[in-house]
């Protein structure tokens, strides 16, 4: 049941604690967004300096996750929240751990970008990766906005868009296998790019998880509908006869 936005708790310090928790999530979300977009930018531009910076900044996300863990534990122990407050605290806990993983994927993209920089030069599928990156970035941004504004509609849009990410992932997977068959010198870069594509796909999945939490927060229920999925990479076979 959505609450009237203007209504505040009788106990003002409780209200304050919930606001602090919400701000921590907003801050953590902002950090993850920045880390992720830097990791993609570094990949597209082969910017090793920026990749290194992403690696160095990951600990900030981890620290915020610990902070949010602490805040939620404290609220649960001392405030015994109920109804939408309870859901907000539980969702914050889950979203924080999801954001932390998304941060890890960004960090992994940065690591692999450094590895690719040392491999023989190869820039074949970068434009597809960049397109996938932009799409996932938009999902991350929108789902965080949806979370902070309790916008179920926006969350649902994100939830549905993940299918597009799955499709791009499948086509990228085929593309990379083909490059590897063409020239074995591409294998190092392509293998790393495969993992990067997988990371992007995972970040997309995590965004849909947050979207589901928005639904839970507002309505008290998770979406009942099955999420549309189009990731076929687990079954892809590229025949050697193909060019």
HSE-CB for 90 with a 13 A CA cutoff: 17
94 binds other proteins (CB under 8 A): no
Closest separation between CB of residue 95 and other proteins, Å? 18
12 binds other proteins (CB under 8 A): no
22 binds other proteins (CB under 8 A): no
Q: Which stretch binds other proteins (CB under 8 A): 45-53, 199-207, 213-221, 231-239?
A: 213-221
220 binds other proteins (CB under 8 A): yes
7 binds other proteins (CB under 8 A): yes
Site size toward other proteins (CB under 8 A) is 20
**What is the C-alpha separation between 122 and 57, in angstroms, rounded?**
27
Q: Which stretch binds other proteins (CB under 8 A): 38-46, 85-93, 128-136, 150-158?
A: 85-93
* Interacting residue with other proteins among 17, 29, 32, 81 (CB under 8 A): 81
* Residues 176 and 193 sit within 8 Å (Cβ to Cβ): yes
Draw the binding track, 51-80, toward other proteins (x: CB under 8 A; -: no contact). Answer: -----------------------------x
Neighbour-count burial of 126, counting CB atoms closer than 10 A to its CB (0-12 exposed, 13-18 middle, 19+ buried): middle
For other proteins, the binding residues in 122-151 under the rule CB under 8 A are: none
State which residue, 89 or 203, has the beta carbon closest to other proteins: 89
State which residue, 19 or 131, has the beta carbon closest to other proteins: 19
Q: How many C-beta atoms lie closer than 10 Å to residue 226's C-beta?
A: 6
Query: Which residues contact other proteins (rule: CB under 8 A)?
Result: 1, 3-4, 7-11, 14, 80-87, 219-221
């Amino acid at each position: 049941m959505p609450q009237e936005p203007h209504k505040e708790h009788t106990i003002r310090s409780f209200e304050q604690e919930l606001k602090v928790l919400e701000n921590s999530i907003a801050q953590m979300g902002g950090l993850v967004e920045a880390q992720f977009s830097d990791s993609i930018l570094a990949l597209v531009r082969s910017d090793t300096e920026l990749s290194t910076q992403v690696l160095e900044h990951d600990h900030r996300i981890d620290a915020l996750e610990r902070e949010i863990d602490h805040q939620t534990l404290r609220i649960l122990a001392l405030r015994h929240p109920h109804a939408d407050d309870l859901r907000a605290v539980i969702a914050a806990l889950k979203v924080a751990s999801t954001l932390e993983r998304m941060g890890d994927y960004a960090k992994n993209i940065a690591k692999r970008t450094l590895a690719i920089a040392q491999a023989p030069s190869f820039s074949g599928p970068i434009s597809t990766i960049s397109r996938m990156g932009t799409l996932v970035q938009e999902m991350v941004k929108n789902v965080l906005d949806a979370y902070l504004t309790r916008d179920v509609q926006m969350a649902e849009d994100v939830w549905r868009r993940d299918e597009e990410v799955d499709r791009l992932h499948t086509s990228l997977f085929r593309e990379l296998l083909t490059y590897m068959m063409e020239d074995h010198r591409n294998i190092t870069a392509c293998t790393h790019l495969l993992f990067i594509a997988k990371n992007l796909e995972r970040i997309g999945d995590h965004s849909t998880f947050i979207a589901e939490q928005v639904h839970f927060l507002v309505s008290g229920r998770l979406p009942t509908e099955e999420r549309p999925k189009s990731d076929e990479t687990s079954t892809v076979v590229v025949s050697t006869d193909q060019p």
